[in-house]
Amino acid sequence: MRLFGDKTAGIYLPLGRKKVPKRITYRMERSLTGSEQVYRSVCRVCHGGCGVYVHVKDGRVVKVKGDPASPMSKGWMCVKGVFSPEIANHPDRLKKPLKRKKGRGEGEWEEISWETALGEIAERLDKLRIESGPESIALGQGTGRHHYMHVVRFANALGTPNWYEPGLAQCFIPRITVSNLTYGGFVVGDYYGAVRPKCILFWGHNPLITGPDGELAVSVKRALDDGCASIAVDPRRTETAKRCGLWLAVRPGTDAALALAMINVIISEAIYDREFVERWTFGFEELKKHVEGFTPEWAEGITTVPASKIIEAARKYALNKPAILEWGLGIEQNHNSLQTVRAIAVLRAITGNIDVPGGDILGMNIIKSYPTLKDKLPEGAARKRLGGDTYKLLGGWRAFMPSAHIPALFKAMRTGEPYRIRALLVFGNNTLTSVANSREVFESLKRLDLLVVTDLFMTPTAAMADYVLPAAFWTEVDQVIGYPLVVENMVMAQQKITQTGECRQDEWIMDELSKRLGLPGASEDLTHVMNCQLEPLGITFDELKKRAFEFPAHEYGRYERHGFRTPSRKVELYCKSLERMGYGALPTFKEPPESPAASPDVARDYPYILITGSRRLEFFHSEHRQIESLRKLHPDPLVEMHPKVAGQRGIGSGDWVRVSSPRGSIRMRALVTEDIHPDVVAVEHGWWFPERKGPDYGVWESNANVLTDNAPPYDPAFGSYQLRGLLCDIEKEH
Ligand SMILES: Nc1nc2c(c(=O)[nH]1)N[C@H]1C(S)=C(S)[C@@H](COP(=O)(O)OP(=O)(O)OC[C@H]3O[C@@H](n4cnc5c(=O)[nH]c(N)nc54)[C@H](O)[C@@H]3O)O[C@H]1N2
Ligand SMILES: Nc1nc2c(c(=O)[nH]1)N[C@H]1C(S)=C(S)[C@@H](COP(=O)(O)OP(=O)(O)OC[C@H]3O[C@@H](n4cnc5c(=O)[nH]c(N)nc54)[C@H](O)[C@@H]3O)O[C@H]1N2
Ligand code: SF4
Ligand SMILES: [Mo]
């Protein structure tokens, strides 16, 4: 795998041109000098978990090196992790609490002490909860960072049902929920056992770049190096797809049709796992009947993938066992996320690839779930969760981790309907770049009585706040890391090694506010919480730090003793629980609402299909644009398009172009490539420019969420909005 870049043009160009290949794996080889101390920990620049040695000199991180003994990463690191010292020691790190001096967003700050900041914020929160109820205070955060479950805990203790994260309905909650409903637990690829996978089906997922969401890039790389058969379903021929023998360039948002046709092929050709299906699945006959009309030819008309390729993919996946099915964001960021993910989940079951060595395995869950104080949230408060009644699998009582529906929450800030959200405390989310329809987000944030943002750096979102609090970087944080996410087959210790300015771990900030507000759980510190998590292993956090990790041997096929953890004790191909909730027991396809077929009037002005946010190796979401070594590798925001689109619009690689949608327009640099579906335009997400002036730091220039929409229709169960499969136009900038 290579980074492909043309430094002279300042942009990346497609593989196939002349280029200097660059490895993405780095091993630091400088030797240790006398005064350095070395600590064992875990990198957390992303939500992965690469075991590392952290070298510290004069209290500063000077080097981070892969730990060869770490059971998953085995010494490997990506470029973001390697540049951790540059992030940790960056001069722009926030170092003291700040309070705004003038109008909101005017960029004038005074430094205040923690005592003053926490005291003033607690006082204002206290006033708001008395005047308008705790539900008028919302909490926000970003993806899977150390304090994730602590935000949920703090929300419950505070008595507010309204917390959000920009992933959730758009990321991971559909996969987790569908796994739980279908198999009675979340499954991940078995890369670490004695049996190697014979096939991997990558579906809307590019793990060689994105790595951890249940696995590490390096594990996937090793499996592919072993030569297993592989298939990629993706409108882009990604770094991962390039390693696959078969690439299905699906039209964005139509994956459910493709999966239904693959089920059709596998059943009609009788290449399903008869024994497993008979013994361990529920509703096979209903499924068989249901998919009869969903032929490869039917799916070709919808997905644009030739029927012959659909048949080839179905056979390849069903006949090369054991097989892993790696699913990703491409199947969730649409208005039919539940049924799309369900259709794909069924494939694992009918091919008997669940909980077998080298297939997709159920979690061991070796640690206790985080003590989120969920019994402290009053029943009445849970009923007030915005969107909870409607999007039952996001915010209702059946939800995996009930949270507020983002469009409903931001609308309540803006309009006061059904009640006003008056305060928002954000722990690590650059809301203006990561939530759909940034313009409306901006209008919503402006209406708040109180906005508090905790972050590592000043961001366009933090610049709108009343208080900005300095957060600790991963080398400054204690944490129990259960891995892979949700299944916890192993556990690792991340330890606080350094201190920057007056930065504090988010959990500490929440605990200090809890104390000042007299909330439940306020007397339990983080060490107590971490020790609770570790109880089943009979060790404390201090002991885990000494051992670095615990990784017990995996126990396969536990269902053979107790059945699957579903109502039928079997894998639910037909899901009665979903039927009872009114969501349909069998998976179905729905045409994306903004598409050439569904909205031809919009398509006249916006003829191309827009996907946003395919990940790049160098950045984690909106982060790292100020980290020189990373930015050098990827200086500009890029939009990928096929030569067909480029030809129609007179665009060449390296040109600055405008991409527009019915919501707005942004500028990006063109990357013309054959490795993309001919009707698709793919923009990067998360762009702002720390080098520009505040308060907006250029956030309106190249931010993908200026183009996306937060309006209905949403997925009926999760309330997912569309970030992929919208419509757009593109033109060269003059
Ligand atoms: N258009 C489009 N939008 C998307 C996506 C897409 O594909 N397309 N993807 C969505 C998905 S899947 C997700 S998960 C979200 C991600 O959204 P987020 O995870 O919220 O990512 P960011 O917006 O970059 O905000 C994270 C902020 O947290 C700060 N930070 C980092 N570590 C810490 C810490 O330990 N403590 C604190 N307090 N701050 C910290 C960073 O500096 C940064 O400013 O974006 C979503 N938005
Ligand atoms: N370097 C880096 N790593 C990251 C992150 C990051 O910001 N940077 N973010 C982390 C987070 S929070 C997440 S959720 C994961 C996401 O990790 P992945 O699940 O791998 O997500 P993406 O790369 O965003 O998208 C995967 C693929 O979906 C394709 N796609 C778009 N639309 C469709 C569609 O309609 N159907 C199909 N089948 N495919 C489609 C895109 O072309 C893309 O290649 O990555 C994590 N890892
Ligand atoms: S993959 Fe994630 S955890 Fe591993 S080195 Fe890179 S940033 Fe760190
Ligand atoms: Mo995510």
Domain ranges in the chain are: 3-88, 98-166+366-486+490-550, 173-364, 600-732
CATH 2.40.40.20 fits 600-732, yes or no: yes
Contact between 109 and 94 under an 8 Å Cβ cutoff? The reply is no
Q: What CATH number was assigned to the domain covering residues 98-166+366-486+490-550?
A: 3.40.50.740
Angle at 31 between CA 27 and CA 32, to 5 degrees: 120
DSSP 676: B
pLDDT single digits (tens) 40-91: 999 999 988 899 999 999 999 999 999 999 988 999 999 999 999 999 999 9
For β-strands 109-111 and 450-455, DSSP reports them as unpaired
Name residue, tokens 């003038």: 102
Find the mean pLDDT for residues 707-732: 97
Report how far residue 218's alpha carbon sits from residue 76's, in angstroms, rounded to the nearest whole number: 7
Q: How many residues does the structure list for the chain? A: 734
Measure Cα distances from 725 to 324, 708, 721 in Å.
26, 10, 11
Number of other CB atoms surrounding residue 568 within 10 Å: 18
Query: Distance between terminal CA atoms of the chain?
Result: 36
For residue 140, pLDDT over 60 is answered with yes
The model's confidence at residue 212, banded by pLDDT at 50, 70 and 90, is low
Q: Which atom of ligand 3 is nearest to the CA of 73?
A: 4
For residue 443, the CA-to-ligand 4 centroid distance in Å is 24
Atom 8 (ligand 2) nearest CA = 620
Q: Going by C-beta distance under 8 Å and a sequence separation of 6 or more, which residues neighbour residue 289?
A: none
Q: Which atom of ligand 3 is nearest to the CA of 44?
A: 3
Number of other CB atoms surrounding residue 225 within 10 Å: 9
The model's confidence at residue 105, banded by pLDDT at 50, 70 and 90, is confident
The model's confidence at residue 506, banded by pLDDT at 50, 70 and 90, is very high
Q: Record the tokens describing residue 213, joined without a space.
A: 């969401």
Tell me, using a 6 A CB cutoff, whether residue 234 lines ligand 2: yes
**Cα-Cα-Cα-Cα dihedral sign, residues 556, 562, 563, 565:** negative
Measure Cα distances from 472 to 163, 208, 559 in Å.
21, 28, 42
Q: Going by C-beta distance under 8 Å and a sequence separation of 6 or more, which residues neighbour residue 111?
A: 96, 97, 98
Contact between 169 and 721 under an 8 Å Cβ cutoff? The reply is yes
DSSP 467: E
Question: Which residue type, as a one-letter code, is found at position 170?
Answer: Q
Contact between 123 and 451 under an 8 Å Cβ cutoff? The reply is no
pLDDT single digits (tens) 228-256: 999 999 999 999 999 999 999 999 999 99
pLDDT single digits (tens) 621-653: 999 999 999 999 999 999 999 999 999 999 999
3-state SS, residue 723: coil
pTM confidence score:
0.95
Question: Which residue type, as a one-letter code, is found at position 418?
Answer: P
pLDDT single digits (tens) 516-530: 999 999 999 999 999
For residue 574, pLDDT over 60 is answered with yes
Sheet of 450-455: strands edge to edge?
109-111, 98-100, 467-470, 450-455, 423-427, 137-141, 163-164
Q: Going by C-beta distance under 8 Å and a sequence separation of 6 or more, which residues neighbour residue 178?
A: 338, 341, 342, 345
For residue 9, pLDDT over 60 is answered with no
The alpha-carbon radius of gyration of the chain (Å, integer) is 25
Q: Going by C-beta distance under 8 Å and a sequence separation of 6 or more, which residues neighbour residue 677?
A: 235, 236, 249, 250, 251, 252, 304, 609, 642
Q: Which atom of ligand 3 is nearest to the CA of 211?
A: 1
For residue 19, pLDDT over 50 is answered with no
- Work out the mean pLDDT of the chain and round it to a whole number: 94
For residue 2, pLDDT over 50 is answered with no
For residue 44, the CA-to-ligand 3 centroid distance in Å is 6
Q: Record the tokens describing residue 9, joined without a space.
A: 């043009």
The model's confidence at residue 10, banded by pLDDT at 50, 70 and 90, is very low
Bond into 716 cis (ω within 30): no
For residue 203, the CA-to-ligand 3 centroid distance in Å is 22
Q: What CATH number was assigned to the domain covering residues 173-364?
A: 3.40.228.10
pLDDT single digits (tens) 296-313: 999 999 999 999 999 999
Find the mean pLDDT for residues 682-703: 97
The model's confidence at residue 14, banded by pLDDT at 50, 70 and 90, is very low
pLDDT single digits (tens) 317-364: 999 999 999 999 999 999 999 999 999 999 999 999 999 999 999 999
Q: Going by C-beta distance under 8 Å and a sequence separation of 6 or more, which residues neighbour residue 274?
A: none
Q: Which atom of ligand 1 is nearest to the CA of 171?
A: 12
**Which of 401, 434, 440, 498 best tests ligand 1's pocket when mutated (most atoms within 8 Å of CB)?**
434
3-state SS, residue 675: coil
Q: Record the tokens describing residue 583, joined without a space.
A: 């969501």
Atom 4 (ligand 3) nearest CA = 50
Atom 25 (ligand 2) nearest CA = 614
Pick the ligand that lies closest to the CA of residue 239. 2
Q: Which atom of ligand 3 is nearest to the CA of 78?
A: 6
**Which of 143, 329, 341, 595 best tests ligand 2's pocket when mutated (most atoms within 8 Å of CB)?**
329
Number of other CB atoms surrounding residue 480 within 10 Å: 24
For residue 453, the CA-to-ligand 4 centroid distance in Å is 20
Q: Looking at the domain 3-88, which fold is it?
A: Phosphorylase Kinase; domain 1 (3.30.200)
Q: Going by C-beta distance under 8 Å and a sequence separation of 6 or more, which residues neighbour residue 8?
A: none
Between 12 and 538, whose confidence is greater?
Answer: 538
For residue 358, the CA-to-ligand 3 centroid distance in Å is 24
For residue 150, the CA-to-ligand 2 centroid distance in Å is 26
Element (H, E) at 482: strand 479-483
Report how far residue 675's alpha carbon sits from residue 80's, in angstroms, rounded to the nearest whole number: 25
- Which is nearest to 630 in space by CA: 47, 86, 42? 86
Report how far residue 380's alpha carbon sits from residue 658's, in angstroms, rounded to the nearest whole number: 48
Residue 30 pLDDT? 41
Q: Record the tokens describing residue 292, joined without a space.
A: 């009869």
For residue 440, the CA-to-ligand 3 centroid distance in Å is 33
Report how far residue 104's alpha carbon sits from residue 118's, in angstroms, rounded to the nearest whole number: 19
